[in-house]
Structure formats: C-alpha cells, structure tokens
Amino acid sequence: MPTFRRVQDIDHEIGPDGALSLAVTSADVRLTATAGASARVRATFEIGAASDQEADEAFETLRLSVHAADGTLAVDEPDGHRGLGGAISRLLAGRTAELYGVEVEAPAGCRLEVRVVSSDVQASGFNGSQHVQSVSGDLRLIGAGGDLDIDSVSGDVSLRAIAPVSLTMNNVSGDLSAQAPTFEHLRIQSVSGDVSVDGELSAETPHAVDTVSGDFRLASGSGITVAVRGMSTDIHSALPHRLDGRADRRRLVLGDGAATVAFNSMSGDLAVTRSRQRPGPVEASVAPAAPAAPTADERSEILGALERGEIDVDEAMHRLGDRA
C-alpha cells in the first residue's frame, strides 16, 4: 500500500506572553522560540492508503484538534485517535496512519505546556513558564530560562539554560543533566535516574534533591551546604570542604555554605566537583593570559592525589588542563 504525506498548518496570534498547549502521541516534537506574537504549529502525517482520495479522507479524521481563543492556543489529537486506542482503531479499519512529526514556533516568553507519549521533544530558546509531561521519550531544553516544571517517565532529560531558572522535576527511570548560570530554585525527585546539576545555587531559597537509587553530581563554584541523609550514601568532593556528622546524617560545607541543598537517598551517592561552565565573554581588545605549564612536581602532586582517591579523574584532568 502506498504512503501519502499530509501536512496541517495552524497559525494563531497569542501575544508575547500568551499560552500554548500541545498534546500528542508517537511524534517527534520540535519547538523553537521566536520574537513574534504568533504561535505556528505544523503537523506532518504519514498515511497508508490506496489512493490520494482515500488519503485525503483519512487525513480529515486525523487532523489535530485546535482550540484558539484570545491569547491562547491548544492543539491536541482528535477524539478517538489518542494513544494506543486510536492506533488500534486505525489498524482495524485497514489503514495505517501516524503523526510523523510536529514543528512549533511560538513567542519566547509564552506559557508553554507540552504533554507527549512515546515522543522525543526538543525546545529551544524559551524563557517563560514551561510545563512538560513526557512518557517514554527524551527531552532536551536548549537556551532556556524561566520557570520549568517537568514530569518524565522512562526518558532522559537534558537542560542547557542561558538564563536563571527555577527547576521542579519528577523523574522515573531516566537521567537528568541540568546546566544553568543560576538555579533560583531546585526541587528534584528521581527514582532510579542519576541527577547532574551544574551552576550557581541561589542562597535566597532552599534546594532539595531526592533519589531512591540515583546518584547526585553537583558542580558549582558557590558556597554550599549539602545536608545528606542516606545510610548507603558515599560522599565525594573534589573541592575544599568540611564534613560534619556521621551515619545517615551528614553535612558537607563548601566555602561560606550560603546556599543550602538537602540530598535524601536510599543508595545514591553524592559527588561535588568544580563547575564546567565557561566564563563570560572576554573583551575583544583584551587577550587572555596564557596559563603556565605545570611543573613536574605539580603534575606528580596531582596524579598522586588521584591515585590516593582524594580527587576523581575529572578533577585531575581539570587541574592538569588548567595548567597545560
């Protein structure tokens, strides 16, 4: 049976701080922030049919539902075609059809809500309120900022922010890697996935990371106090620190300890390292000073610390790289 491609275009002005909602199943989703006031959605369908006419008829039943109002746009799968039930009904009708992909352009500061199943999602450049619910799919947030609320089941999450963020996340069976200049608020709950956070932590609000069996890696250059609860939790720090307490209640203090993080885990470990984020741009007229090459004694000291377990491989490479 031949395959026909059909495209549905949706365009609605929501304003720079309007609301966009998208809910789809089994489709790759790409969202890109724009400077305009309109939200544009392009959905591409692959339809197995005997003829163009039959494909057109199928397309009319598959088109996404659109609910547009002043300042809002909601796009969803039509009744009867959502999820597994819709796929079964199409197969029983002797026709194969699927939503192949969805491309979205929307104002950077809009309120964004995305709900997907069996879909990979990439969102670039948004800095407003963002709520993403994902089941069985990976999520990438690039050039982000603002308030992020993420629920993820069976998928990895990658956040690369260029502005301060407040991150709330519930994660089941997937890893989280989050990088931002500043985390104004951090609240993460993970069952079996590892959590990696790189960025300054605000001292204005408390932060918390809970895991069942996932490790927590924190990379930061700010003063931090990490309150650790976990009987089987090992603690490693590549930075100068003070460790208080014993057994299942310990406190790791770095610098002035101004920012506070509570880490609770049944069997996950904590590792604190130096932030890998690059410094801000250098003035074009100012040439950065070339770092001095490490002396033989300095190299031996670094490698000796690595062998004794005082630092990890990443920290050793960092120190050698800084001096190379």
Is 260 in the same domain as 314? Answer: no
**For residue 116, is it within any domain?**
no
The string of pLDDT tens digits covering residues 29-59 is 999 999 999 999 999 999 999 999 999 998 9
**For residue 12, is it within any domain?**
yes
Is 147 in the same domain as 197? Answer: yes
Structural tokens at position 47: 């339809």
d(CA 103, CA 27): 10
Is 174 in the same domain as 277? Answer: yes
Is 165 in the same domain as 266? Answer: yes
d(CA 268, CA 210): 9
Cβ atoms 20, 131 nearer than 8 A: no
Look at residue 144 and tell me whether its pLDDT is greater than 70: yes
Say if strands 207-211 and 259-265 run parallel, antiparallel, or are unpaired: parallel
**For residue 28, is it within any domain?**
yes
3-state secondary structure of 2: coil
**For residue 45, is it within any domain?**
yes
Domain end residue (candidates: 108, 127, 158) = 108
pLDDT at 88: 37
Cβ atoms 71, 57 nearer than 8 A: no
Cβ atoms 190, 212 nearer than 8 A: yes
Look at residue 324 and tell me whether its pLDDT is greater than 90: no
Domain end residue (candidates: 92, 108, 124) = 108
At 232, the amino acid letter reads: S
Is 277 in the same domain as 142? Answer: yes
Q: Mean pLDDT for the chain?
A: 86
- Confidence class of residue 91 from pLDDT cuts 50, 70 and 90? very low
Is 200 in the same domain as 262? Answer: yes
Determine which helix (DSSP H) or strand (DSSP E) holds 277, and give its type and residue range: none
Is 263 in the same domain as 314? Answer: no
Task: Look at the chain and report how many structural domains it folds into.
Answer: 3
Tell me which residue range forms the domain holding 308. 293-324
Look at residue 318 and tell me whether its pLDDT is greater than 80: no
Is 253 in the same domain as 318? Answer: no
The string of pLDDT tens digits covering residues 145-183 is 999 999 999 999 999 999 999 999 999 999 999 999 999
Is 259 in the same domain as 205? Answer: yes
3-state secondary structure of 279: coil
Is 299 in the same domain as 269? Answer: no
Specify the pTM. Answer: 0.80
pLDDT at 295: 65
**For residue 15, is it within any domain?**
yes
**For residue 114, is it within any domain?**
no
Cβ atoms 73, 12 nearer than 8 A: yes
Q: Identify any residues that bridge with 244 across adjacent strands, giving them in sequence order.
A: 251
Is 179 in the same domain as 259? Answer: yes
Structural tokens at position 247: 């057994």
**For residue 260, is it within any domain?**
yes
**For residue 113, is it within any domain?**
no
Is 206 in the same domain as 309? Answer: no
3-state secondary structure of 313: helix
Maximal C-alpha separation, the chain:
78
- Confidence class of residue 189 from pLDDT cuts 50, 70 and 90? very high
Pick from 290, 28, 322: nearest CA to 155: 28
d(CA 290, CA 49): 65
